Structure 1
């Protein structure tokens, strides 16, 4: 039997109704500590801005806090939205992390803004053409971290020589093409962007060009998980997850809509489109989830799976993490 791939986690540091931001951060620490005990390979945190239910706006700071309270699990950004920043600053941040926590730090980079257009232009002050420099920014960042700066006389201190691994994130063909061209490890966001999964991961493997960023292709595929010991209970959890996702997409007015109004939104074409973002979700008992994830691994050609834990409550999502670890044999 072929060995199952490693399992990792993505933590969105969600703030639930009635919570303080510090409550979410404390929960993320506990999640990482438990994931480490269970044998998960890594946890990543994604840069988001101006989203009232997500507090991972500063991944490097969050990683430093959690790394100080764990021992061995790899921690990283999934990812830093690189066009929001100067590559030099990111090299210094993650170089600092690597010096404090050797061989535990990853750096996934994406080109999306991670926020709304108002925040992007007025608060982050990101230029309109910043995303066009993404390929060059990755190479500049790699130069700082590898000790081969592309700017004469400029060294990332700390950062130089740490060789923090850089992963290219993607949710479309663009990321796959870029990762293959650069010879970098690739991560596909199957947990919210299912459309191009097979085409993107296949293109990446077939067109990979070895480089200083990677000698052979390495593909991580993200996928959702909703587990319960009872199949029907897992299905009900999934229904609640879908409704919460549709409500959240309404925006700041989502909290005020009635259940009847939410029913109509869920049944609408827009609601179904939002729900389809969760197409790749393992729903059911632990045994059913293992079967689904094994099939998903083959579909995506994945070397590693990154799990987005879903659930009708945070407690149920945490229980899913426990059950999956046992069923997968971590």
Structure 2
């Protein structure tokens, strides 16, 4: 069986009582730990107008993580392209690619990463830009190509710089697009679970080889919380459940400290909307999570897992990622 890569998606989640500076420092410490235990990449998401999410100026945080690490790939999971000018994104990531050669990824998504009112504040023609997503990607590809040297509009910082593109998605639209362009495909199954299997099938069936990629390459987001025991992992997960309930009810706030699992919280965790959103969440001891992850890999046949671990305490989060790395090494050892 093939080796499965494992990576991290970070939103720079702000815990109650923590400052943004402490949050950013924790992200860097996590990335440094991840580099030491074999993670392939460390991606940062783009979100806006949320007090609990610090990854708004995504390219700046990517630079900070890349500066503080040596070998791990660092990138966007993703840049929400309709929020931006393709020229500016090409210049930003071209610059990152020059500063940190062969380490920068550019994952591109179509959603706003925020509410509609904020999307309009970011860019008044956002919805028009979202409809032009395939064309906007083509512009970025052109800016990164050496052939663009003769064009009247150039991103000179990007020309010929090696920054691989990834298509991100949470629906089947993105699967068709990634397959058509022959680009690697990352599905946001850590929160958008409904279309995962269908999207992967479409991508594999329709994939057209390109100069960037000879055969399909898939990544899937999964929520991971690993602790020494199932009971401890369940306790830590109460912060995640409270966060998801807040998202679904519009009551968004800082990440709350964990509590002992109550009957009320257990009932909320069994709510159909919460269950659907957290369908691909693997919570427990190493033994428990290893079984769940092994089954997920068998079901999806993905090439890479990108783990999302929203935990209140920074040290608990680092430990969870360390234990997950041990799980992946064990699974890859079994695969070989």
What residue ranges of structure 2 are gaps of 5+ in the alignment?
331-336
State how far apart, in whole Å, the 1-side matches of 2:150 and 2:85 are. Answer: 13
Unaligned runs of 5+ in 1: none
Q: 1:133 to 1:322 in 2, by over 3 A?
A: same
- 1:286 aligned partner: 286
Change (3 A) 1:222 1:253: closer
- Following TM superposition, by how much is the alpha carbon of 1:33 offset from its aligned partner in structure 2, in angstroms? 0.7
The 3-state SS of whatever aligns with 1:279 is coil
2:161 aligned with 1:177, yes or no? Answer: no
Q: 1:222: how far off?
A: 1.0
Question: Which residue number corresponds to residue 333 of structure 2?
Answer: none
1:179 is paired with a residue of what secondary structure?
Answer: helix
What TM-score, normalized to structure 1?
0.91
CA-to-aligned-CA distance 1:284-312 (integer Å, 9 cap, x gap): 21122222212211222211110111435
Q: Which has the higher contact order (CA 8 A, sep 6+)?
A: 2
Task: Give 1:150 deviation, angstroms.
Answer: 10
Offset of 1:239 from its aligned partner?
A: 4.1
Distance 1:148 1:305 in 2: 34
Q: Secondary structure at 2:148's aligned position in 1? A: coil
CA distance in 1, matches of 2:75, 2:199: 23
Aligned twin of 1:163 = 162
Quote the residue 1:325 is aligned against: 325
Q: Which residue of 1 aligns with 2:86?
A: 87
Judge which range, 4-13 or 280-289, deviates more. Answer: 280-289
1:30-49 counterparts in 2 under 5 A?
A: 30-49=29-48
TM-superposed CA distance for 1:325, in Å, is: 1.5
Report the CA distance shift for 1:263/1:245 in structure 2 as closer, same or farther (over 3 A). farther
The whole-number CA distance in structure 2 between the counterparts of 1:235 and 1:268 is 14
Q: Distance in 2 between matches of 1:306 and 1:201?
A: 15
The number of residues matched between the two structures is 324
- Give, in whole Å, the separation in 2 of the partners of 1:115 and 1:105: 24
Task: State the Cα deviation string for residues 248-277 of structure 1 (Å, max 9, x = none).
Answer: 44335768xxx9xx9779857995313421
Give the structure 2 partner of residue 315 of structure 1.
Answer: 315
What is aligned with 1:210? 209
Cα pair distance change 1:266/1:293, threshold 3 Å: closer
